[in-house]
Amino acid sequence: MKNGIYIIATPIGNLGDISARAIETLNAADIIACEDTRVTKKLFSLLGLDMHKTFIKLEDHNEEQQAEKIIELINSGKTVAQVSDAGSPLISDPGYKLVRKCREAGIKIFTIPGACALICALQLSGLPTNNFMFAGFIPNKEKARKDFLMQYKNLNTTLVFYETALRIQKTLSAAGEIFQNRDMAVARELTKVYEECIAGSASELLEHFEKNPPKGEMVFMVGPLKENAPKEINLEEILKEKMVSASLKDAVKQTAEEYNLNKNDVYKKALELKNGQ
Ligand code: SAM
């Protein structure tokens, strides 16, 4: 086994999803860096892996200090494997600061890929996957949730969020207002017995969860903007910006073409701006 750090994905529900490379590497590593030693030791026991090694905690709040310790251990010849409680480390889980520090220290980093909830959810959703944005966890407080979702309102791509059963209904209500007619999907219990992915509008999904109270871990997805959806644009701001470097006539022409707007309406607005109204 080459000296360095191994970033290893573990199952998100179905133990059978552990890879042969993950098993081999977890068995061979001297040290296991994990979020919760109890969770990882349980996984080792379920998979029948060699428990005779050092387990150290790596969490968001102690990642920088633990990274220094891990680098010293690797430099002294030990091999370290990093796992999270479930799924792919670093994806809404600790690890990127450790990886950055290892890179700075010239340590070799290896990836042992496997289950990742956002990828499984996208695969089931039927939403476009050629282009997507993963935005992690949605804040819990009402205003923070709305502000957070608003940032992505005009982004024309599939949006992917991590969510919990407790909050999904509040999120769907807010998303219905913000993303309006866009397609949505919720994937839950991925790779487990009750795995499902429900697709529909925000109100259809809300109706579903009123009849079937939400349970388990969830991924919430919003499809790209619809072709026929009215684009919300700030015409005044756009024109002001363009009129700094272009004539009024050119600014009107460019804006009307770019945003598919009526040229006369844009011209009227440009004249108002020019005359300081
Ligand atoms: N790093 C993990 C990954 O991407 O594979 C995710 C860790 S994050 C702390 C936990 C969140 O991932 C959950 O709240 C849920 O949104 C999502 N998740 C994890 N396992 C899942 C599952 N089996 N089904 C649906 N969502 C899951």
> Residues with Cβ within 6 A of ligand 1?
12-13, 84, 86-88, 91-93, 115-118, 162-164, 187-192, 217-219
Average pLDDT in the 222-249 region? 85
Q: Compute, in angstroms, the gap from residue 15 CA to the centroid of ligand 1.
A: 15
| Nearest-angstrom CA–CA distance, 194 and 215 | 10
Q: What is the mean pLDDT of the chain?
A: 95
Residue of the CA atom closest to atom 13 of ligand 1: 217
Average pLDDT in the 112-132 region? 98
Name the nearest CA neighbour of 149 among 168, 171, 132, 117.
171
The Cβ of residue 40 has, within 10 Å, a number of other Cβ atoms equal to 23
| Nearest-angstrom CA–CA distance, 239 and 246 | 10
**pLDDT tens digit string along 19-69?**
999 999 999 999 999 999 999 999 999 999 999 999 999 999 999 999 999
Residue of the CA atom closest to atom 26 of ligand 1: 218
Q: Give yes or no for a contact between 142 and 170, defined as CB atoms under 8 angstroms apart.
A: yes
Please determine, for residue 232, whether its predicted confidence score (pLDDT) is greater than 70.
no
Give the nearest ligand 1 atom to 84 CA.
1
| Nearest-angstrom CA–CA distance, 160 and 108 | 31
Q: Compute, in angstroms, the gap from residue 54 CA to the centroid of ligand 1.
A: 26
**8-state DSSP, 154:** T
What pLDDT was estimated at residue 265? 86
Substitution candidate for ligand 1 out of 36, 85, 116, 162 with most atoms within 8 A of CB: 162
Please spell the DSSP secondary structure of 175-234, one letter per residue: HHHHHTT--EEEEESTTSTT-EEEEE-HHHHHHHHHHS---SEEEEEEPPPPTTSPP---
Substitution candidate for ligand 1 out of 60, 163, 218 with most atoms within 8 A of CB: 218
Taking CA atoms, 204 is separated from 126, 162, 221, in Å, by 16, 20, 14
> What pTM was computed for the model?
0.83
Q: Compute, in angstroms, the gap from residue 271 CA to the centroid of ligand 1.
A: 53
Average pLDDT in the 135-139 region? 98
Q: Compute, in angstroms, the gap from residue 168 CA to the centroid of ligand 1.
A: 14
Q: Compute, in angstroms, the gap from residue 217 CA to the centroid of ligand 1.
A: 6
What pLDDT was estimated at residue 221? 98
Secondary structure tally for the chain: helices H, strands E: 11, 10
